[in-house]
Structure 1
Amino acid sequence: MIGLWDTTGSEVVKALAAERRSAGGVASGMALTLIVVVDEKRVREAEAAATIAAAAHPCRLLVVVRTDVERDRNRLDAEIVVGGRLGPCEAVVMRMYGRLALHAESVVMPLLVPDVPVVTWWHGEPPHEIATDYLGVVADRRITDAAQATDPIEALRQRARDYAPGDTDLAWTRITPWRTLVAGAFDTTEARVTAARVVAPPTDPTAALMCGWLGSRLGISPRWERAGDFPRMREVQLSCANGDELTLTREDSVATFRRTGQADRQLPLVRRPLGDELAEELRRLDADQVYAEALGAMAEVSGLDQRPGQRVHVWKDPATAERAEAGVTAHAGTSATP
């Protein structure tokens, strides 16, 4: 491990090259570059998840921690780890202070592995519009997590409004086991589904995407019922044209599958670690059309998969926005003075 304090981007590039030579050139088998944008308080959590993902997808891991953009003096601290505590990857953890944090790409771009895809993951609140973050614009795939937003359902709607092919969300990844079990129920029947019911908390983004997926796949409007005190999606029920009902109910890490005229079955439905969810998303680097259809159905926005796959960077300075809001507030206060 190499620690560089109050350094520059060029020094980070040189130190990474030196550490690679010392470690024997780990980058020869790199499948992608993974950029992680995270707050300081969640760096260790993001590193733990990336370590699990890197075991399945050897990558160069670039962790960007933006701190105190209002600081007068710019500063860059970096930690370089090659084939060490973060698994079979090359990792650079960069803490950026001051205005440098608004231009993270100036440090990140020279560190990208040549000729491999780039994935950006926001472990925290993503930008309102991804085009305002160059680290999202440069990526082939962009991973967000609506569950971390103050209003997860509105966050998903915003992801639909701002969608471009290549976007995905970990709320979608979390319903992969549910979708697998529900789809598997139709291996032995061709009955048409006429209605669906999802039981979940009203703020559960996984339930919102489940409703969107069922609606886009089956051409119906699923009913969303409150799950009482259950903290996450509890049940999915489908009604068929032949009178059969299929119900999948979760209790802890086990799901009970009920079907009219058949005995109940117990199926595994384990909540996976964050690293496994991230690893699943790294398996595909093309646009996820099924996710686009589910997100569009959920948010009532059509044609998501027909949008351009590339974004144009839009510069946004949060300090300028704050000053503008302060000016409007001051002007309103002055106008109200008799």
Structure 2
Amino acid sequence: MTSEPAVSSSIETMRGELALGGLSTSTLTFIVWIDEAGRRDWVLERARMLAEKYPSFLMIFDRTGAESGEPRVSCGGSRNCVSIDASALDADGVDQYVSAFCRDAVSTVLWWSGAHVDAGEILNALLARAHTLLVDSSGSVTDDTAVCSLAAFAPRHPEIAIRDLAWLRLTPWQDMIARFFDDPRLLSELYTMRALHITSGSEAEALYLGAWLASRLGWTASGRSAFTARDGKEIAFTHEIAGQTRRVHSVCLDTDGSWYHGEVTDDPAVVAVWVEGEYGRERRLVPLQAIDNASLLERAILEPGADEVFVTALSWIATLVG
């Protein structure tokens, strides 16, 4: 592990380089933790893009082994950036760097790009200065392990606003479902629902979308793959992994008399919707709003405070997976 004197020395060196480069005014401190080599370039590109767009002090802790040697400093545009090889850093070393460069008066966002949010000392050291935690529960895994680790983490840190890209990706589906049932003739159908089926490329999206719909209808998570409606009726919830990762592939809502379907076509930007049964409707194609990664990240770092609907959905995950 890197010694405390070595960390102190590198901090002084970086401060000198930042002073020579001319410190820019920052409205955000953006800390990025990277420990997966396969996602390193993707994360770095987007972090730097955001830091350029919004005046930021960018701190990159790279534990992939690709950032070897002395910490690097870059200045220019609307950001200052320090890149630190974290492969030999322990929690104390991380805390030294964070304490040296994070200002209390500036909002701090931590992008933890690892697969799982654990209770490790390094994460705790980074969180000590953070106001917002950004994660992606389906960034590098398709099962439910990442979102379950986040669900276990959240109650222990109510002071942290959590943003999960897996949740934010669902906005187009949420909007489409809401618009579909805007029809007054179909509104009552929502309250006769008996089953919900979701197919997605990653478990996190299915769990989040199911929990979102449940929260809108006044249901509660009551057991493994099950919700309970206000009248006490149980709604079965099935979900499976299929199709492109990090994307919802299909949704089916079963009511007492009808089956409502939405399924992505060969064109990922188009969804086919149709109804079978009492309220039958012919198949029609509707556009699925495209949201690029840059927009998702901007929303994640700019939205203030906690998203209460997300907090509720996340709190139900442990119950739904049993």
Query: Residue 292 of structure 2: SS of its match in structure 1?
Result: coil
Whether the 8 Å contact between 1:31 and 1:117 is mirrored in structure 2 is: yes
In 1, Cα distance between equivalents of 2:272 and 2:55: 37
Instruction: Pick one of 82, 93, 105 that aligns with 2:75.
Output: 82
Give the TM-score of the pair, scaled to structure 2. Answer: 0.74
Q: Deviations over 1:125-158 (max 9, x none)?
A: 3442266521023211111222245573122122
Greater strand proportion: 2
Q: RCO higher in 1 or 2 (8 Å CA, sep ≥ 6)?
A: 1
For the structure 1 residues 209 and 139, does the alpha-carbon distance in structure 2 shift closer, same or farther, using more than 3 Å as the test? same
Instruction: Pick one of 290, 305, 309 that aligns with 1:270.
Output: 290
Q: Residue 153 of structure 2 aligns to which amino acid in structure 1?
A: D
Q: Residue 268 of structure 1 aligns to which amino acid in structure 2?
A: L
Whether the 8 Å contact between 2:165 and 2:297 is mirrored in structure 1 is: yes
What RMSD over aligned residues (CA atoms) do the two structures have, in Å? 3.2
Whether the 8 Å contact between 2:91 and 2:122 is mirrored in structure 1 is: no
How far has the Cα of 1:237 moved from its partner? 2.5
Residue 224 of structure 2: aligned partner: none
Query: Residue 128 of structure 1: SS of its match in structure 2?
Result: coil
Query: Residue 249 of structure 1: SS of its match in structure 2?
Result: strand
Query: Residue 188 of structure 2: SS of its match in structure 1?
Result: coil
Whether the 8 Å contact between 2:199 and 2:240 is mirrored in structure 1 is: yes
For the structure 1 residues 277 and 196, does the alpha-carbon distance in structure 2 shift closer, same or farther, using more than 3 Å as the test? farther
In 2, Cα distance between equivalents of 1:255 and 1:130: 41
1:39 matched to 2:35: yes
Q: Deviations over 1:213-261 (max 9, x none)?
A: 22222214452243655654211233457x5654322232222333544
In 2, Cα distance between equivalents of 1:152 and 1:235: 17
Query: Residue 191 of structure 1: SS of its match in structure 2?
Result: helix
Whether the 8 Å contact between 1:79 and 1:94 is mirrored in structure 2 is: yes
Residue 305 of structure 1: aligned partner: none
Whether the 8 Å contact between 1:60 and 1:113 is mirrored in structure 2 is: no
1:156 matched to 2:147: yes
How far has the Cα of 1:54 moved from its partner? 3.5
Gaps of 5+ in 2: 1-5, 220-226, 228-234
In 2, Cα distance between equivalents of 1:176 and 1:77: 42
Residue 210 of structure 1: aligned partner: 209
Query: Residue 103 of structure 1: SS of its match in structure 2?
Result: helix
Give the TM-score of the pair, scaled to structure 1. Answer: 0.71
In 2, Cα distance between equivalents of 1:158 and 1:40: 17
Residue 147 of structure 1: aligned partner: 138
How far has the Cα of 1:177 moved from its partner? 1.9
How far has the Cα of 1:262 moved from its partner? 6.5
Instruction: Pick one of 252, 255, 278 that aligns with 2:271.
Output: 255
Q: Residue 41 of structure 2 aligns to which amino acid in structure 1?
A: R
1:296 matched to 2:315: yes
In 2, Cα distance between equivalents of 1:216 and 1:40: 34
How far has the Cα of 1:11 moved from its partner? 1.6
Residue 234 of structure 1: aligned partner: 249
Whether the 8 Å contact between 1:204 and 1:233 is mirrored in structure 2 is: no
Percent sequence identity is 22
Gaps of 5+ in 1: 69-74, 302-338
Whether the 8 Å contact between 1:122 and 1:143 is mirrored in structure 2 is: yes
Instruction: Pick one of 8, 11, 28 that aligns with 2:10.
Output: 8
Q: Residue 94 of structure 1 aligns to which amino acid in structure 2?
A: I
Q: Deviations over 1:168-187 (max 9, x none)?
A: 32211221221122223333
1:279 matched to 2:298: yes
